């Protein structure tokens, strides 16, 4: 599943700067050894306490965290995003086979895409391009439980929690340890808020939190929203009374609403469009790829209609 590069996902959650400061070794240790960390009794208790202090139902939390599906996610951070390892390959989205697939999706879902465009003013081609790059039209929606990913990230609050995995050279350097602690706290706070949002989302929509699949960063749905964004930008596209980002109607409407609310307007030039896309995903290669795919789709439509006209 995660052969797909998720570099841009890290870009989106800009607070993950701990990745950028030599914490690679530490992450490797976390990735490979996390489960044993979770082995002892009461592993989740500090997190349950924090959630209960914020008003979550303690008995409900106890029940939830005692379920066997709850695991400490070892691969909460992909090695591939550590700088210097691998760069994301966006060129693959411009390959003819992918563009054809995107074009087919556009034609097959034309009415829905057109209706969402009418309502939010975001072109069909842009939405299709984002779906292609984000999840390949729902093929890659993550193979983790979003709950486990976010709970795992939230659970590690300080270097003490992961003491034995910290490289000796960092341990010897008080300044680096302070920076590491700051980064871990920041990351934990971010994940904690997203976990709260996920729990609230599931409660309000009568969903089982452990049934929601997510990316290795906890992003969910065809449009890959972080749970907190559902409450800001989420839309009930099919009008069934709930926002389910695993339905195309809701995912497209939510994505278009996000873009509209962050500045998409008719008549933007290319660099202005890029700036809006960057708010969806803070990676310039990502934004450029989306705009280029949208442009190619538009050309394919034009070619198609002129072919029909000449018949
Ligand atoms: Ca809905």
Where are the chain's structural domains? 7-310
pTM equals 0.81
Supply the angle between the helices 248-261 and 110-120 in degrees, to the nearest 10. 30
Whether 19 has a pLDDT exceeding 60, the answer reads no
Q: How far is the CA of 136 from the centre of ligand 1 (A)?
A: 21
List, for residues 186-232, the tens digit of each pLDDT value.
Answer: 888 999 999 999 999 999 989 999 999 998 889 999 999 999 999 99
Distance 92 CA to ligand 1 centre (A): 32
Taking the centre of ligand 1 as the mean of its atom positions, its distance from the CA of residue 268, in whole angstroms, is 30
Question: What pLDDT, on a 0 to 100 scale, did the predictor assign at position 143?
Answer: 86
* Alpha carbon of 256 to ligand 1 centroid (Å): 15
Rounded to the nearest angstrom, the distance between the alpha carbon of 68 and the centre of ligand 1 is 30
- What does the pLDDT look like over 242-267, one tens digit per residue? 999 999 999 999 999 999 999 999 99
Run of H or E including 214: strand 213-214
Contact 234, 225 (CB under 8 A): yes
| pLDDT (0 to 100) of residue 75 | 57
pLDDT, the chain, mean: 84
- The whole-angstrom separation of Cα 225 and Cα 307 is 38
Measured in angstroms, how far is the CA atom of residue 88 from the centroid of ligand 1? Answer: 33
What spacing in Å lies between the alpha carbon of 297 and ligand 1's midpoint? 27
Give the DSSP per-residue string, 125-185. HHHHHHHHHHHTTTT-S-SEEHHHHHHHHHH--SGGGGGGGS-HHHHT-HHHHHHHHHHHH
Distance 249 CA to ligand 1 centre (A): 7
Q: What is the CA radius of gyration of the chain?
A: 21
| Count of beta carbons in the 10 Å neighbourhood of residue 194 | 26
Find, among 226, 240, 232, the residue nearest to 258 by Cα. 232
Distance in Å, CA 221 to ligand 1 centroid: 12
């Amino acid at each position: 599943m995660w052969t797909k590069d998720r570099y841009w996902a890290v870009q989106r959650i800009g607070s993950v700067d701990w990745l950028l400061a030599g914490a690679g070794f530490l992450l490797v240790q976390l990735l490979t050894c996390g489960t044993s960390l979770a082995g002892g009794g009461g592993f989740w208790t500090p997190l349950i306490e924090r959630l209960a202090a914020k008003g979550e139902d303690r008995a409900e939390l106890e029940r939830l965290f005692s379920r066997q599906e709850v695991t400490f996610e070892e691969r909460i951070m992909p090695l591939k995003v550590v700088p210097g390892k691998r760069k994301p390959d966006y060129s693959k989205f411009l390959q003819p086979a992918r563009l054809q697939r995107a074009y087919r999706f556009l034609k097959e879902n034309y009415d829905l895409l057109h209706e969402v465009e009418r309502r939010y003013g975001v072109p069909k081609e842009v939405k299709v391009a984002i779906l292609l790059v984000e999840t390949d039209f729902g093929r890659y929606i993550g193979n983790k439980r979003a709950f486990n990913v976010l709970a795992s990230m939230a659970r590690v609050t300080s270097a003490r929690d992961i003491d034995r995995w910290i490289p000796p050279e960092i341990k010897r350097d008080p300044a680096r340890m302070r920076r590491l602690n700051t980064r871990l706290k920041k990351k934990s706070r971010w994940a904690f808020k997203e976990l709260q949002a996920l729990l609230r989302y599931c409660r309000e929509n009568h969903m089982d939190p452990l049934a929601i699949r997510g990316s290795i960063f906890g992003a969910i749905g065809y449009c890959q929203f972080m749970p907190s964004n559902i409450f800001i930008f989420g839309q009930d596209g099919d009008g069934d009374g709930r926002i389910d980002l695993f339905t195309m109607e809701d995912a497209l409407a939510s994505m278009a609403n996000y873009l509209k609310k962050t500045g998409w307007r008719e008549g933007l030039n290319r660099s202005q469009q890029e700036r809006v896309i960057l708010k969806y995903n803070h990676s310039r290669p990502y934004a450029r790829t989306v705009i280029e795919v949208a442009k190619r789709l538009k050309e394919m439509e034009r070619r198609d209609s002129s072919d029909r006209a000449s018949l």
